[in-house]
């Protein structure tokens, strides 16, 4: 069966510091990968998606970037965090192609920028 | 503008009753609509998907309807239990012809089932 991991689970970082969040998927090949952010009391916002190694699409202009160095690894980064980057970050995967409907989410990373 | 709205932020009902949650969308023609459950501090979990040519779909105590004329989906939990308490999210793919899903989510309805 497939599993998705995210780490760290929680993170407190000062403004201006760098960020690296990691997501890995097991038990599937060539998944579509996604990063979402959920701000307090708000809905999920799609940040980035990837359909293959090195292929990243950004949905919202922002202070963050994403990379996919391996088939089942997805990384969210920032060079300098802003207060507004605080939130709950969720990684998700879906099957590729026509079976891509359903999103399978990881446990999330709670980021607090102070 | 395009919107997906869940018009009840919170819903409190008595155990054993049927909970009905509403999802409305505007300026989309989705090929399908999904419902997810999210518990506090956790990622959403997929529950049901209903396609535009399906009127109704069931899974155990869950039932989803999809009315493309009204641009609305209803999500029902029958014989509700306290363990059903969670936030429920509706979602649709705003770019079904894209190589990856571009799912947009409603803001959720927080359901509380009291014993």
Q: Which residue has the higher pLDDT, A2 or B83?
A: B83
Nearest CA to A55 among A44, A69, A43, A40?
A69
Q: What is the mean pLDDT of residues A26-48?
A: 90
Q: Is residue A98 very low, low, confident or very high in pLDDT (cuts 50, 70, 90)?
A: low
Q: What is the mean pLDDT of residues A54-58?
A: 92
On the CB side of A1, how many CA atoms lie within 13 Å of its CA? 2
* Pure H helices in chain A: none
Q: Is the pLDDT at A71 greater than 70, yes or no?
A: yes
- Do B43 and A101 count as a contact with CB atoms less than 8 A apart? no
- How far is residue B79's CA from residue B16's CA, in Å, rounded to a whole number? 4
On the question of a cis peptide bond just before residue A87, with omega within 30 degrees of 0, the verdict is no
CB A16 within 8 A of CB A77: no
Instruction: Name the one residue in this structure whose structure tokens are 């359903």.
Output: A102
DSSP state of B82: G
Q: Is the pLDDT at B91 greater than 70, yes or no?
A: yes
Q: Is the pLDDT at A106 greater than 70, yes or no?
A: yes
Q: Which residue has the higher pLDDT, A61 or A39?
A: A39
Cite the beta strand spans of chain B per DSSP E. Answer: 3-5, 10-14, 19-26, 32-38, 45-51, 56-59, 62-67, 72-77, 86-93, 103-105, 109-114
- Whether the CB of B93 is below 8 Å from some CB of chain A: the reply is yes
Partners of A44 in beta bridges: A38
Average pLDDT, chain B: 92
Residues of B in contact with A107 (CB under 8 A): 42-43
pLDDT digits (tens, 9 = 90+) for B5-58: 997 789 999 999 999 999 999 888 888 999 999 999 999 999 999 998 998 999
Residues of B in contact with A57 (CB under 8 A): 100
pLDDT digits (tens, 9 = 90+) for A75-90: 999 999 999 999 999 9
SS3 A98: helix
pLDDT at site A97 = 74
pLDDT digits (tens, 9 = 90+) for B97-111: 777 778 889 999 999
In angstroms, the separation between the Cα of residue A100 and the nearest Cα of chain B is: 6
What values do phi and psi take at B68, rounded to 5?
A: -75, -20
């Amino acid at each position: 069966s497939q599993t998705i991991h995210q780490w760290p689970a929680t993170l407190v970082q000062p403004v201006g510091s760098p960020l690296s969040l990691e997501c890995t998927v097991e038990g599937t090949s060539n998944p579509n990968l996604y990063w979402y952010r959920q701000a307090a009391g708000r809905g999920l916002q799609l940040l980035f998606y990837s359909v293959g190694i090195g292929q990243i699409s950004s949905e919202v202009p922002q202070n963050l970037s994403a990379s996919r160095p391996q088939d089942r690894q997805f990384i969210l980064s920032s060079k300098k965090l802003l207060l507004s980057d605080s939130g709950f970050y969720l990684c998700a995967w879906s099957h590729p192609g026509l079976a891509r409907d359903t999103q399978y989410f990881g446990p999330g990373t709670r980021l607090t920028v102070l | 503008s395009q919107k997906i709205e869940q018009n009840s932020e919170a819903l409190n009902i008595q155990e054993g009753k049927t909970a009905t949650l509403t999802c409305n969308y505007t300026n989309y023609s989705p090929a399908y609509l999904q419902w997810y459950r999210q518990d506090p501090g956790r990622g959403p979990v997929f529950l049901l998907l209903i396609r535009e040519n399906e009127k109704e779909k069931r899974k155990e105590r869950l039932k989803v309807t999809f009315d493309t004329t009204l641009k609305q989906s209803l999500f029902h939990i029958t014989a509700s239990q306290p363990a059903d308490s969670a936030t429920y999210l509706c979602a649709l793919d705003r770019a079904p012809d894209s190589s990856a899903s571009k799912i947009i989510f409603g803001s959720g309805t927080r359901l509380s089932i009291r014993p």
